[in-house]
Structure 1
Amino acid sequence: MTDAFDTTKDWTDDLALIEMAGREAGAVALSHFGGAPEVWWKNGGQSPVSAADLAANSCLEDILRKARPDYGWLSEESRDDPARIAAECAFVVDPIDGTRGFLSGGKTWVVSVAVVARNRPVAGVLVAPALDEIYSAQLSGPALKNGVPIAIAAAGEERRPVEISMPGNLAGRFNADFGARLRRHPHIPSLAYRLAMVADGRLDGTLVRAHSHDWDLAAADIILERAGGVLVDEAERTLGYNHADVSQGTLFAGHPALVSEMLRQFGPPDAP
């Protein structure tokens, strides 16, 4: 299932479905926002999950799995079902991307919902209820923010320094001259929202440390692609989704020309 779908195929119905579900889940999450939802810790105490995450996840699963019972299901907050891998289409969901920010009262969190077909996203929605923003795209249409087309920053723009969101441990791996052109943007807890900021031109690009997951990326990936950008790994390959292993390596996002330059200027980790 690695061959791509015909780019003329229309995914409007699926996009409308996931946008409706994302709005509903966003309203559920927003009802907990600013309160004190119960919190548990997973992954050895490294990652929080709250009652808001679980409630939004239940909302999404109830709507989407009833509407498309033949689609696979992959969510950060659901037990993994390996049957998803054999499904031609699958929902890839993060009910709240940016939970830490959500819990601390920050507004840059999103409900992320994608349809993945043959291992690539074909429709995606990011709903940011606290900001009253919705990003959306499907394979044969434009990227939209609140219904208005968006586009990434042009590579030739004379914007110096280049605004990049990136972890400190990756910033030091750029060639010194190239690195001097970059300005690190303040940290944004939601990876999906950072990619949306690249898609609408507020950021030139972003680096993503290894071990992000499909649910963090899939919806934002199709939005970024339809806005004119790319999201690739260190070998400049587009990402595959809904495999058995749902973690990704170090990633680069932005205008294709900027990403190619970033990859050329990016060196290996320092020796221990």
Structure 2
Amino acid sequence: MTSPANDWTADLDLLTAAARLAGARALEFFRKGPEVWWKNGGHSPVSAADFAANDILKKELLSARPNYGWLSEETDDDAGRLDCETVFVIDPIDGTRAFIAGKDIWCVSAAVVHKGRPVAGVLFAPSLDELYTAAADGVALKNGQPIRATEPDADRPTRMAVPEDMLRHIDKHVVGGVHRISHVPSLAYRLAMVADGRIDATLVKRNAHDWDLAAADLILARAGGSLVTLDGEALSYNRPNVSHETLAAAGLSRLSSLVDASRHLAGH
């Protein structure tokens, strides 16, 4: 079946249930030395847990919505997704390096993208027992409670999770300076931290992919923030090329100043 127009709550419920199942399956491998392979020329690890979680998500989601397309980091890409108005965009474990190292900050990222934009999104961090959810025109929630991105505060520096090499080029351009937050190994989770106000902003290096971003993009948007290019444009998903250029994320009231301060970092 297809969700009724402008009502994606049923899809959100479906994503939530599937993400919980996939997260529980991944936990069975966590801190137990799962088998690991290397892809992308040896630069990107993937574990047995990634594949097991991906299998659950694909089964649960496509059995319920067989007419939706499918895009997952751990499934060979099928160009047929480009013919679908509505697509599941999945990262079964965002933060695989952290997962393999036994660190808690990793999550299942699952989104429904319709006509290029996310309309339902879930991030589930099972090791932290944290669930982020949002649907188009709804409220972003963390464990059932509304969350909100921060407003500018002239009395303190901007708390940013940003790669150190980018920090050197941005600190002097941000009014009040930057307080750098230590490395957050999951990109999706880092964007969720902007959505729930634990950090004020972040920059994303080029070549992040749809599956890293789609669910978190919607959660941040429904929490009063935005993820944009350094031209200030919203992202479009389910294109032939699923990687993106350098990005900025913050609450809406501070976003334009962040983009202005970061524009010279295009291409990083």
- Map of 2:91 onto structure 1: 94
Residue 45, structure 1, aligned to residue 42, structure 2: yes
TM alignment of 1:1-272, pairs within 5 A: 9-155=6-152, 157-158=153-154, 160-174=156-170, 176=172, 178=174, 181-266=177-262, 268=264
* Unmatched tracts of structure 1, length 5 or more: 1-5
**Aligned structure 1 segments of 4 or more residues deviating by more than 6 angstroms:** none
**CA distance in 2: counterparts of 1:175 and 1:49, whole angstroms:** 34
Cα distance 1:187–1:159, how it changes in 2: closer, same or farther (>3 A)? Answer: farther
**CA distance in 2: counterparts of 1:240 and 1:269, whole angstroms:** 21
- Quick check: 2:151–2:254 contact (8 Å CA) kept in 1? no
Cα distance 1:115–1:141, how it changes in 2: closer, same or farther (>3 A)? Answer: same
Deviations 1:93-129, CA, capped at 9 Å, x for gaps: 0000000001111111000000000000000000000
**CA distance in 2: counterparts of 1:257 and 1:86, whole angstroms:** 36
Cα distance 1:235–1:177, how it changes in 2: closer, same or farther (>3 A)? Answer: closer
Deviations 1:134-158, CA, capped at 9 Å, x for gaps: 0000002100001111111122x34
- Quick check: 2:173–2:261 contact (8 Å CA) kept in 1? no
Report % sequence identity. 52
Cα distance 1:144–1:159, how it changes in 2: closer, same or farther (>3 A)? Answer: farther
**CA distance in 1: counterparts of 2:57 and 2:134, whole angstroms:** 18
Alpha-carbon RMSD: 1.6
**CA distance in 1: counterparts of 2:74 and 2:168, whole angstroms:** 34
* Unmatched tracts of structure 2, length 5 or more: none
TM-score by length of 1: 0.93
State how many pairs are aligned.
263
**CA distance in 2: counterparts of 1:185 and 1:133, whole angstroms:** 20
Deviations 1:13-71, CA, capped at 9 Å, x for gaps: 00000000000000000111111000000000000000000000001001111110000
